[in-house]
Amino acid sequence: VAPAAPAPAPVVTPSVSPQAQAIDAAAFLAAPATPALARDGLIRAQVLLDRAHFSPGVIDGRAGENVRQALAAFEKARGLPVDGVLDDQAWAALTAADTQPAMQDYVIAPEDVAGPFVDKIPTDTAAMAALDRLAYASPAELLAEKFHMDERLLRALNPAADFTKAGTTIVVAAVGARPLAAKVARIEVDKAEREVRAYGADDALLAVYPATVGSTDRPAPTGEWEVRTIAPNPTWTYDPSRLTFGKEKKKLTIAAGPNNPVGVMWIDLTKETYGIHGTPDPVKVGKAESHGCVRLTNWDVQQLGAAVLKGTKVVFVGAESAAGKTT
């Protein structure tokens, strides 16, 4: 079934930055003459895919598995040959469907720099449990996540910016707030492709997200389950009696925050101890294994969580394939 028609996109004011203008002017090049031209074209493609609800994960201007999957899903939905390669046909379809600028100027707001921030997020569970909040480590991390960007790309596009100062104008991806076109009736978790697909009541495709899905030592479930609850900004409980990882012997509660191990959203499933959730490390989505759950970027799980209801079907298909070290 064809993808659902998205809501009208917010109008994007073009950036005055020469770097942003170069990205917005990027055209398809089969063999870019410079790394900058290759990066600019990929940034524009990633932003357009994100806005069309074929998430490439972190916008970083780099080719990779998440971009391949997003392009393949886009090609399939548009009736194009499916290979996950950015070619002239895929580029033409992307840019014809969305002609607005990919980049925009943003003035850092007081709330972006107000904090509180955590200087360093510990990896040890007991040390995490000692914190009052698993907040962002810096305004730059907050801003990168706000605009679905890799922090390294944010800094590269704004080399002279003071991200700690409200009133500073920076160049960011023009992703905007784009809710799904309808409520989600069915979620399909593809363990082989490491991908989550959301469908509406008429089986129209609403969104596709890259995901980290289980691992070979602790596979994700199989079969059909349901959404039990949706918990924004959740705490996370480490319970050694129910989990198969970690060295702590006692039960611990990890405070809420974007750097919480399950990120900013927990979509609880009727399969005990399993859920769809966010992550403190968006660059690792689709690249590192999980402890059985389904991990999305914080922004993707927020978008999905806003469109699901208790009882929404969640179907697991395929089989896990090793994607890297368990995290």
CB atoms within 10 A of CB 84: 16
If you ran DSSP here, which 8-state letter would residue 30 be given? Answer: S
Cα 33 from Cα 95, distance rounded (Å): 21
Cα 38 from Cα 18, distance rounded (Å): 16
Give the closest residue to 102 by CA, choosing from 155, 40, 163, 161: 40
Query: Any idea which residue has 């990890």 for tokens?
Result: 254
Answer positive or negative: Cα dihedral of 268, 282, 299, 110: positive
Which residues does the annotation mark as catalytic? 277, 293
The one-letter code for the residue type at 231 is A
Phi, psi for 171 (deg, rounded to 5):
-95, 130
Give the closest residue to 274 by CA, choosing from 323, 321, 229, 326: 229
